[in-house]
Amino acid sequence: MLKKIRTALISVYYKDRLDEIVSKLHAENVVIYSTGGTFDFIKSLGIPAIAVEDLTGYPSILGGRVKTLHPKVFGAILGRTANEKDLSEMAQYEIPSFDLVIVDLYPFEETVKQTAEEQQIIEKIDIGGISLIRAAGKNYNDVLIVPASKYYNELISLLSEGAETSLEARRRFAGYAFAVSSAYDAAIYNWFSGGEKELRLAINDHSTLRYGENPHQKGVFHGKLSEVFDQLHGKELSYNNLLDLDAGLSLIREFDEPTFAILKHNNACGIASRDKLADAWEAALAGDPVSAFGGVLVTNRKVDETTAARINELFFEVIIAPDYEENALQLLFSRKNRIILQLRTDVFLRTHYRTILNGLLAQDKDLQTENVTDMEVVTLQSPSTTEQDDLVFANKIVKHTRSNAIVLVKNKQLAGSGIGQTSRVDALKQAIVKAREFGFDLHGAAMASDAFFPFADSVEIASQAGITAVIQPGGSVRDNETIAFCNTAGLRMVFTGIRHFKH
């Protein structure tokens, strides 16, 4: 089923590498039809081309909105060479047969990112181009469709072997065509709907992972990881690595001071802020040096040689940082499979999606972060400045910890956390046990809860452990009992009014 390319229709927005393509086509004596700016570009190369308006008998009209929408154009694409009636009608109406169609659509998504001016956006909704893509994709038996500039390299590779295409190649490119058209339409729909109605998702890029959560499960990431980070060293990332990276990057962006976090199973097992990054690392590791083994490390500062030397003593899976000193990288490269990532952006989707039952759940990401000004002191005594700092620190961590969650902090260092428990009392007990196991003195520590305390029992246990300051959303019908106990025991407690469940 090899088919000779004798004629081509080219209508593109971006013209990078188009000169190489048309030169190859011209060398193979392919007759080229083209439109508007593409026609002018091809002619400027000294390569002959036929203007589409010479084929249709109509000029480009309505400010360029109508150029290719004509029976002679679509007849040339959709005509079936194995169908005698099609061939007869094409001969009757003097319709040629296009063997190759190259399209690059108006940049709708790029325009939406650059402007909010509605008319500019509307004019970047491609009509003719998307129609050409769909028509050529439908008739892949006779036509090779190249639906975007991202496929030019593959086309050039095909043309290097001569101006012939196989059915297999034409069918493969037809798949690309409908991937492009569906993604394009999804982007337009989402702009019109504002994301408030039916959901349309179309992601062209993907990475095949070693496996899913477990070796018997397949794993794929749909998206472009190269936009998030550069991988400088190490083996391929796993499904679980990516989950921990997502959790770690969401957590670390809460902090302005030099901060180090160690992630395990999507939760921080250690995190601390200090004036020097090496000190932040040491304090984070002290939070739970056992769980840190094989963890994912995340920091918001350039990793220096001193810090790298200390990190290098631990076995870990992944580290991500905004930058590294050269000597630091050489130290970290000492283990072959260790994954070293350099962060490019921490700006991600503002909507969180999750598969459930036979559909998807969608919600706004929890981007609310409370500071001292958001605290309502509800006890007779107010927290000290140090306690305020620790309450803010703890509340940031508990927001990113699986519910039910309790976080204990002292001197901007995670001392212990209770994660994913079915009761808040159990979460608190777990946090206290963890803190004591690793030698923390909880006298003067701060406690954060991701939701209100239904009873006063939690603050009673906290007081017995030496905790002196508490931050919680408030909102329980028994808040007055919890406040009364804090006043009696001398605890300082603040309400934020914001719950941070993370299921």
| CATH, range 372-495 | 3.40.140.20
Which residue's structure tokens are 């550069």?
Answer: 230
> Where are any strands of DSSP class E within 115-173?
144-146, 164-165
Q: Judge contact between 134 and 184, C-beta under 8 A.
A: no
Of 470, 452, 277, residue with least CA distance to 392 = 470
Each of the 503 residues of the chain gets a pLDDT tens digit; together they read 788 899 999 999 888 889 999 999 998 889 999 988 898 999 999 999 998 888 888 787 787 787 788 888 888 899 888 888 888 888 888 888 899 999 988 888 888 888 888 898 898 888 888 999 999 999 999 999 999 998 999 999 888 888 888 899 999 999 999 999 998 888 888 888 875 556 777 777 788 898 999 999 999 998 889 999 999 999 999 999 999 999 999 999 999 999 999 999 999 999 999 999 999 999 999 999 999 999 999 999 999 999 999 999 999 999 999 999 999 999 999 999 999 999 999 888 888 888 889 888 888 899 999 999 999 999 999 999 999 999 999 999 999 999 999 999 999 999 999 999 999 999 999 999 999 999 999 999 999 999 999 999 999 999 999 999 999 999 999 999 999 999 999 999 999 999 999 99
Asked if residues 501 and 450 have their Cβ atoms less than 8 Å apart, the reply is: yes
Question: What is the dotted CATH code of the domain comprising 220-343?
Answer: 3.40.140.20
Q: Which of 56, 78, 83, 82 is nearest to 67 (CA)?
A: 56
Instruction: Give residue 4's identity as a one-letter amino acid code.
Output: K
pTM above 0.75, yes or no: yes
- Do the domains 3-193 and 220-343 sit in the same CATH topology, yes or no? no
CATH number 3.40.50.1380 given to 3-193: yes
Cα–Cα distance, 284 to 90 (Å, whole number) = 74
Known catalytic residue at 124: no
Which of 93, 43, 36, 42 shows the shortest CA–CA distance to 62? 36
Domain definitions of the chain by residue range: 3-193, 220-343, 372-495
Residues 6 or more apart whose Cβ sits within 8 Å of residue 12 = 18, 38, 102, 103, 104, 149
Residue with tokens 């993370």: 502
Q: Which of 138, 150, 235, 429 is catalytic?
A: 138
233, 265, 302, 429: the catalytic one is 265
Please state, as a whole number, how many other Cβ atoms lie within 10 Å of the Cβ of residue 223: 16
Q: Known catalytic residue: 265? A: yes
